[in-house]
Amino acid sequence: MDSSLILSNILNPPVLFFFLGMLAIFVQSDLEIPNPLPKLFSLYLLVAIGFKGGHELYESGLSPLILATLGAAVFMASIVPVYSFFILKIKLDNYNAAAIAATYGSISAVTFITASSLLDKLQIPYGGHMVAALALMESPAIVVGLILVRVFNKKEATGETDEDENTSTSWGEVLHEAFLNGSVLLLIGSVIIGFLTGVDGWHKVHLFVEKDIFYGALMFFLLDMGLVAARRIQDLRQTGMFLIGFAVFMPIGNALIGILLAKAIGMGQGDALLFSVLCASASYIAVPAAMRMTVPEANPSLYVSMALAITFPFNIIVGIPIYLQAIKLLGV
């Protein structure tokens, strides 16, 4: 493993601001980001990556390689929760296993952004269609997680006459949350707008969505993520070594599958890294919000703290460089 690659990633300013946020909690500083701002930074980042991805998709068009990549993205988002669920059932009940499995089947947009910033720093090209893959991978895991709960909890059925009505309502809620929650809608909408407005739209807003403002917002957002992650570390004491190990080794395994798929499809190194990062990341925003609503029996402190306090820092510190090194070793 090339240690200089890890060092290059760690010395990326947004990543260092993540560490600064964690340090502030550990030394009991009163540093905090005022409450409305993290949401604003999150919205801006989704608009920026979505619009830029839509424009680059307009420039490149929908080639067979791009369509194969998008198909592979949906496949991974659907299959990862299934095998994760059976691994987690070794130690957990159906509800918690399904919620965590859905969390690891979905993606982290900020991990994706961190990987793309490393690629920019190393001058490795990648396609804008990877943002479309990001958007497509957000929702399927939520639906699969709910299906797993339904299938493996048949014995919990009450047999009351209004059960079908309740189930129908619940399905409507989960589908709405999976495909129309704010982050998914904004990201997909930004991709579509970037694609439809083409060159003219890009000339009008590129200064707003490109690197200078983008990386400034990313630094503030990761500073806040560092604050939140450090607070969540305290919740990990109740998870045990099994879940801590899962939060580290499952992303590595998912990334390896993603790299092999990328090689089979014929992706370039930049696209392969972003695809493997999408496979390896875990959602700490969209899926937890959906799971709280649809699977209230699951413990949020498990799946949120695993994704945010273990998997997210692991990926942005050492995971991304490891995946890039594996891509080079496998000749992608």
pLDDT at 331 over 50: yes
**Which range, of 44-48, 249-253, 307-311, averages the lowest pLDDT?**
44-48
**Could you give the CA distance from residue 235 to residue 230 in angstroms, rounded to a whole number?**
10
Inter-residue contact 278 to 134 (CB < 8 Å): yes
Q: How much is the pTM?
A: 0.80
Burial class (CB in 10 A: 0-12, 13-18, 19+), 262: buried
Query: CA of 28: how far to CAs of 25, 144, 233, 302, in Å?
Result: 5, 40, 14, 24
Nearest to 75 by CA among 245, 290, 292, 260: 260
Confidence of residue 218 (pLDDT cuts 50, 70, 90): confident
* Residue at 64: amino acid letter: P
Query: CA of 186: how far to CAs of 5, 180, 213, in Å?
Result: 33, 9, 19
Inter-residue contact 135 to 187 (CB < 8 Å): yes
- Reduced to 3 states (helix: H, G, I; strand: E, B; else coil), residue 143 is helix
Locus of tokens 């130690």 = 91
Burial class (CB in 10 A: 0-12, 13-18, 19+), 4: exposed
Inter-residue contact 58 to 129 (CB < 8 Å): no
- Reduced to 3 states (helix: H, G, I; strand: E, B; else coil), residue 128 is coil
CATH 3.40.630.10 fits domain 35-151+166-329: no
Inter-residue contact 315 to 274 (CB < 8 Å): no
Question: How many CA atoms are closer than 13 Å to the CA of 204, on its beta-carbon side?
Answer: 8
Q: Phi/psi at 246 (nearest 5 deg)?
A: -60, -40
Q: Where are the alpha helices (DSSP H) in the chain?
A: 3-10, 13-26, 36-60, 64-88, 94-105, 109-122, 129-137, 140-152, 163-180, 182-209, 211-232, 240-265, 269-280, 286-294, 300-305, 312-314, 320-329
**Which range, of 242-246, 254-258, 292-296, 308-312, averages the lowest pLDDT?**
292-296
- Reduced to 3 states (helix: H, G, I; strand: E, B; else coil), residue 210 is coil
Inter-residue contact 202 to 55 (CB < 8 Å): yes
Confidence of residue 160 (pLDDT cuts 50, 70, 90): very low
Of 112 and 59, more confident = 112
pLDDT at 290 over 80: no
pLDDT at 315 over 90: yes
**Could you give the CA distance from residue 273 to residue 320 in angstroms, rounded to a whole number?**
8
pLDDT tens-digit map of 162-214: 444 444 446 676 667 667 767 778 878 888 998 899 899 989 888 888 777 88
pLDDT tens-digit map of 32-41: 888 888 888 8
Rg (CA), the chain: 19
Locus of tokens 């982050």 = 183
* Residue at 40: amino acid letter: L
